[in-house]
Amino acid sequence: MEFPVVTVNPAQLETACLVVPVIEGELEGAAARLDDASEKLISQLIERGDFKAELGNTLLLPFAPGLGAQRLLLAGFGKAEKLDESRYKRGLDAAMAALLKLPVEDAAFAGVGLDIELRDAAWKARMIAESALRNAYRFTEMKSQPGEPASLTRLSVVSADKSQQAELEAGLRIGAAIGEGVNEARTLGNLPGNICTPTYLGERAEQLGSTSEGALKVTVLGEEELEKLGALSLLSVGRGSEEPSRLIVMEYRGAEDENEAPHVLVGKGITFDTGGISLKPGAGMDEMKYDMGGAASVFGTMRTVLALKPKLNVVAIVASAENMPDGRATKPGDIIKTLKGLTVEVLNTDAEGRLVLCDALTYAERFEPASVVDIATLTGACVIALGNHATGLISNDDDLALDLLDAGEEAWDRAWHMPLWDEYQAQLDSNFADIANIGGREAGMITAGCFLSRFADTFPWAHLDIAGTAWQSGKQKGASGRPVGLLTQYLLDREAELNAAQEETL
């Protein structure tokens, strides 16, 4: 989808459909200008009660007398004094959902003038592009007769201020790249486990590398290589499956100095999780195809990185396996040796994500990283604690944690910082090995983070638990693509930080 910026009176803009945000109370901005040009059409509709500008309300006017647009779509954004980032995004999503139902290829949005405290035009433009692409997404790969895709291919953003054009274009570029990355993550998450296997993810990475014009180096380690390496913890998870495990590495070297310490993203890629011998209940088990949501978000972020081309070095590592029960499967009570050399007593085979991540974190050491962030649908305890609104965050470095929290606020893909106190570590004590893979029911999300921290003691590290945010259940079941926005913003912030440091040395 294209997102050009046009600086024109919205009343004169010729387009198949013009979307205009309307605030409760007195009309202002683009809505006021369109009202004046259309003989007070919008005011009359509001006064007669045909349209209320409450948040999420929309009204399509198939004819727009006095305007250049063929159609006018009114979108309610609620009360001006209550308009914040969350309500702005909700208003955008309602407007885009209504727009994308229309048989139009070209449309325009006249809403960057809405006032949101501490948010500039670039941020609002970014959200517009993201929302358009997220709402245009359709997962039809598995349908015998796929439905028609959204017809919209061009959404112009209208501004009355020519001085804002570069700012808006920059915001739209970031928003479009993130939107595409989010949708990449959603597609990988929505694919069924019989299609999206560890082997498939490896092939997907190689495909991403082959189309990157040399910007992405891809390495896929198979089971023989992992055995020689000593990644026995990762391999233990897939022992009960016919699908071979994989460790997938994607390297992007965009910094001026290719030896600049990279920022590493590590994704949990359990392509289907039965729980293994510690078998999960049957109800809802189909959703365990989403247990590779961390890997999906890493793929989505790398696609966004390739689009934006930041001057930064980024390494992505995906630890992928399928957790199944059979005669060769790891059993409760088994003791396994990790790549780091620590031994783990497996008390529950359904706590398998940490067993693949620990070897991936150890593998990350070879890159001498500036930071490492792992992303995983790791614990049900996170869902109980934070629901499906905030991603859980645990870190051994407060500065890194704050950077991620700030990135989440900027991207409006937010996280919440949980403690990593020494007092919790004792819950992982084992009588028979160096560490147990679970620490009991209490503080389950935190003890999972404690486990991972044992393998991240040589670099700044953070863990993002996306068990509550990677997908939604129910009638609207599907992958969310989170936290691609947060991760992308984190990397863009590191690029800006690196650029500032380099300028200081000149």
Distance CA 243, CA 269 (A): 13
The answer to whether the CB of 394 falls within 8 A of the CB of 465 is yes
**Helix axes 293-308 and 165-190, enclosed angle (nearest 10):** 150
Binding residues: 268, 273, 291, 350, 352
Amino acid at position 381, single letter: A
| Tokens representing residue 351 in the block | 């706590």
Report yes or no: 341 and 259 within 8 Å, Cβ to Cβ. no
Count helices and strands in the chain by DSSP H and E runs:
15, 19
The token pair at 484 is 């691609």
Q: What are phi and psi of 205, to 5 degrees?
A: -65, -45
Residue 122 contacts residue 161 (beta carbons within 8 Å): no
User: Is residue 280 flagged as an active site residue?
Assistant: yes
Q: How far apart are CA 235 and CA 289, in angstroms?
A: 19
Collapsing DSSP states into helix, strand and coil, what is residue 48? coil
Residue 320 CA to residue 315 CA, distance in Å, equals 16
Decide: helix, strand or coil at residue 196.
coil
Distance CA 316, CA 334 (A): 30
52, 101, 154, 280: the active-site residue: 280
Residue type, 384: I
CA angle centred on 326, ends 321 and 331, rounded to 5°:
80
The secondary structure of 253-280 as a DSSP string is E-SSSTTSPPEEEEEEEEEEE--TTSPP
Residue 333: CB partners within 8 Å, gap ≥ 6? 345, 346, 347
- Provide the annotated binding site for Mn(2+): 268, 273, 291, 350, 352
Q: Are 310 and 254 in contact (CB under 8 A)?
A: yes
User: Whose CA is closest to 406, among 480, 468, 493?
Assistant: 493
Long-range contacts of 43-48 (CB under 8 A, 24+ apart): 45/74, 46/22
Q: Is 354 assigned a catalytic role?
A: yes
Burial class (CB in 10 A: 0-12, 13-18, 19+), 63: exposed
Tell me if the bond preceding 483 is cis, omega within 30° of 0. yes
Instruction: Report d(CA 488, CA 301) in Å as an integer.
Output: 6
Task: Given the residues 354, 414, 454, 494, select the one marked as catalytic.
Answer: 354
d(CA 171, CA 154): 16
Residues designated as active site:
280, 354
